[in-house]
Structure formats: C-alpha cells, structure tokens
Amino acid sequence: MAHPPLQHDISVAFDTAKVAPEPFTAPGLAAGLSMRPLRRLANGALRSAIVDMPSGWTSEAARIVGGPQQYFILKGRLRLGAQILTTNAFFAGFADETIPAMAAESDVSMIAIYDAPPAYAAPAVGANTVHVIPDPDKIDPIVPEIDGKKLVGFERRVLWENPANGADTRFLRIPGGFQGRGPNYHPVHEEIYHIWGDGGPDDKRKLSTGWFLWNPAYSVHGYHEHSPEGMVLLEWHDGKWAYVPYKPDAA
C-alpha cells in the first residue's frame, strides 16, 4: 500500500524549560494548575504537555476520564488515592476509567498525553481504576532488534498500549556511545521527552535533559542519531510504530 509522500527535516525540538506556562483547565477538573504545551494537533487540540501542580493542590475527589490519558511524573510527590507516586511513576486510563483523588504533596511536574481533549466527571459505581506503574525499572526490559540484530545495551519497557490502534508508550535507556543506523521514518507520530542524558538526532542539534522532540509521521529523520553519554527517554506514539530505513530509490 502506498504511503503519503515523505517529508524531510521537519522534526520539531525544543527545551521545555523555555516554554511559557499557561493555565490548564478542563471540564470537571479543579482549578490551580498550569501547563507547558508540547504538541497540539492541527485542530488546536492538546496532544501532550507538561502539567505543573503546586504543592497543596488537590483534585478534591476521584474522577473518570473522558478519553485515554497518560501521566508520567518528572518530579515531585503525588498522592493518588492510597498510593504515593514519585519521579518516573506512570499512570494511564481509558475512557470512563477512574483516576483516584489526587493531591500534590510537593510541587509536581508530569507529562500528560491525551488521545482526546481532557475532560473529567464524577465516577460511576464499579468503574475500572487507572493502570499504575510506580517504578518502570521493575518491568522486565525488552532488548530491541532491528534487521535481526539486537541492540545490546538498550532497554525498552512498555508502559502502556492501546489495543484499538496499536499506540504505545515506552521508557527507554540508550547506552553511551550510541550511533544510529542512518535516516529513517515511521508511519505514526513519534514524541520523545529527554528525561536524562544528551544526544542528537543529527549533527545540527544537541538535545539534553528536559528537551522534547517530535518526529511527524512519514518524516525522514535520524541522519546521525548519537549519544555520547547515554540517555533515558519517554517515547510515545499515536499508532503502531515501525522503524523504516530511508531508501531514496524506494521512496
């Protein structure tokens, strides 16, 4: 099946610390939050953001979510129902699943990923509770493989999958000295947050802790992927991801 025309050099990368915060509001959500948008869809809807909670903020009660939502804690201490979640904790839910009452026990920053505009309501009796991973490192890692060759030193931990469209979210460790295999593309949008470490998608840009990278679907990128010291990344997709080497004659 033919794919859309490939585009080149349209990846977006920026330091999230330089993004101006703006109020974060959503139906059914207590006021007092701010956010730094990472990506918006063509229609203006929020796809991903860093949500900042001031110490003492509370959601006041449990809430059901209006569409698939994911959260990854970058810093701080968050009470989620009876659980205390800290750095690198992850939780996610599908539409009509319940997020227990939340309370920020310190200033909290977390990545938020939305498949639909965020909305919340009082939970129904018997509703499922969101999926929680307090520590991703306790998940058995997968060693990725490309063209039949294992990428020794890499660790991939899948935090969430959407069976409806194959989308997933991954916690990745990339070893120091990594060198990519050359330009490539994916059939879906790929978003990456640099939790730790340094690296670059090419020789023009260096990304470090706190940077965000968006590789649009069918965009050729990765002309010289590299990382001298290694990286820890959160990577998420809006459909089933695949690695496709760029071959000009076949494009």
- CATH of the domain spanning 138-246: 2.60.120.10
- State pTM to two decimals: 0.94
Give the SS3 label for residue 248: helix
Tens of pLDDT, residue by residue over 131-184, are 999 999 999 999 977 777 787 889 999 999 999 999 999 999 999 998 887 899
Give the SS3 label for residue 224: coil
| Average pLDDT for the chain | 93
Tens of pLDDT, residue by residue over 29-82, are 999 999 999 999 999 999 999 999 999 999 999 999 999 999 999 999 999 999
The third-level CATH classification (topology) of the domain covering 16-134 is Jelly Rolls (2.60.120)
Please report the pLDDT score of residue 248 as a whole number: 81
User: What is the spatial distance between Cα 47 and Cα 41, in angstroms, rounded to a whole number?
Assistant: 6
**φ/ψ (deg, to 5) at 31:** -75, 170
| Domain parsing of the chain, residue ranges | 16-134, 138-246
- Residue 89 pLDDT greater than 70, yes or no: yes
**Which amino acid does the sequence have at 230?**
G
Confidence band of 107 (pLDDT split at 50, 70, 90): very high
Would you say how long the chain is, in residues?
251
Residues 6 or more apart whose Cβ sits within 8 Å of residue 221 = 9, 11, 183, 184, 185, 201, 202, 215
Please report the pLDDT score of residue 250 as a whole number: 55
